[in-house]
Amino acid sequence: MTSPSSSTSALAPLVPPYLYDLSPTIHKWCALRCADIVALTTRGVYFEDKLIHHYLNHPIRYIKLIGLIVSIDTFARRRVYTIDDSSGVCIECVALLPLSSPEAPSNSHSHPPPSNTPSITTPQIPWNDITECKVVRILGIMGSYMHVPQLQIVKMGIVGSTDVERKWWDECRELKDPERGILGREWVVGSEEVERWKRRERRRKAREEEKRGGGRDGRAVKKKVGSGSGSGRREDTERAEEKRELARKKMANPQPHPSTNTSHPNPNPSRPPHETSPNKPLPRPPIKKRFIPTILPDLSNYDTFGY
């Protein structure tokens, strides 16, 4: 299996970061080898205020790794495990050391019990059992230090059998399968998927507005949400019906009602109706135009200016 080079990753077109929620890898623990982890590129893209690494154009955040511990370095607040998985590259996995309680004795080998919810700040690690030359399984978040790729450990455990390691190798191979693997080809987002995401985001924002109590008991928000649906079309139809009804009434009653107030005469009287009685005089016939012939003078008797 070969890992993608940096030039190949740079050629893969990136999807806009606001669509990263649609990625099949952004919220998944991806089984990658150390050689694949080192080959990931950043490309200056941030998602949820975190720098994102990419395999081709797939955003990668959570990584699952199995390997042998070749060295352990302990610093003031963190411990660095160097992992070798026989892929030709080693990688550093960093774990934050838990804060010892004031009642506990100052012993470097004694640590408080791990937290129920593992995270970067409170990793779940059997500190006393992890030693060099142990094969461990690590769940970590992708990071870097001085432009060197690292894993921020969330959870670590000892691999008890080679069957677990074999399943992890199979998972790495299937994930990068060119035909069926997610990382075997570039990530492409279809237009239908984008439309579904937009509708889901609109519904989510509407629910958030209702929870915040926008308007009066949320009624203003509901009216705003329904303005773009069938309710808006029904309102337009009702207004059109009212206009047509008003036009029919005007056609049925073209004359205004006479006013009983004679103190203020109407400055703009209405036009009188057309006379339809049989005694109506006939219209006058049109005047016939007559043409009088004229004799043009002989222009040769005059000079150039007509004198």
Q: Using one digit for the tens of pLDDT, what is the confidence trace for 106-156?
A: 544 545 555 578 899 999 999 999 999 999 999 999 998 888 899 999 999
135 contacts 158 by C-beta, under 8 angstroms: yes
Q: Which residue has the higher pLDDT, 105 or 203?
A: 203
The pLDDT tens digits of the residues spanning 36-78 come to: 999 998 888 888 888 899 999 899 999 999 999 999 999 989 9
Q: Picking from 18-22, 97-101, 200-204, 295-299, which range would have the lowest pLDDT averaged per residue?
A: 295-299
- Range with the largest mean pLDDT of 77-91, 112-126, 205-219: 77-91
What whole-number distance in Å separates Cα of residue 93 and Cα of residue 139?
A: 10
Domains of the chain: 17-98+117-199 (2.40.50.140)
Q: Picking from 72-86, 137-151, 189-203, which range would have the lowest pLDDT averaged per residue?
A: 189-203
Beta-strand runs (E) in the chain: 29-31, 46-47, 50-51, 53-55, 58-60, 62-74, 78-84, 90-96, 135-145, 148-158
Which helix (H) or strand (E) segment holds residue 224: the answer is helix 219-226
Amino acid at 266: N
Which tokens in the block code for residue 103?
Answer: 């009642």
At 19 the pLDDT is 86
Q: Look at residues 145, 16, 15 and name the one whose alpha carbon lies nearest to residue 92.
A: 145
Amino acid at 113: P
Identify the band that residue 18 occupies on the pLDDT scale cut at 50, 70 and 90: confident
Identify the band that residue 249 occupies on the pLDDT scale cut at 50, 70 and 90: confident
At 307 the pLDDT is 45
At 225 the pLDDT is 47
At 25 the pLDDT is 92
At 1 the pLDDT is 45
Q: Picking from 93-97, 138-142, 219-223, 232-236, which range would have the lowest pLDDT averaged per residue?
A: 219-223
22-37 average pLDDT score = 93
The pLDDT tens digits of the residues spanning 4-15 come to: 544 444 467 888
Distances (CA, A) of 120 to 80, 124, 143, 280: 13, 9, 11, 103
* Mean pLDDT over each residue of the chain, to the nearest integer: 77
82-91 average pLDDT score = 94
pTM for the predicted model, two decimal places: 0.59
At 9 the pLDDT is 42
The pLDDT tens digits of the residues spanning 224-248 come to: 445 455 555 666 777 777 777 777 7
At 6 the pLDDT is 44
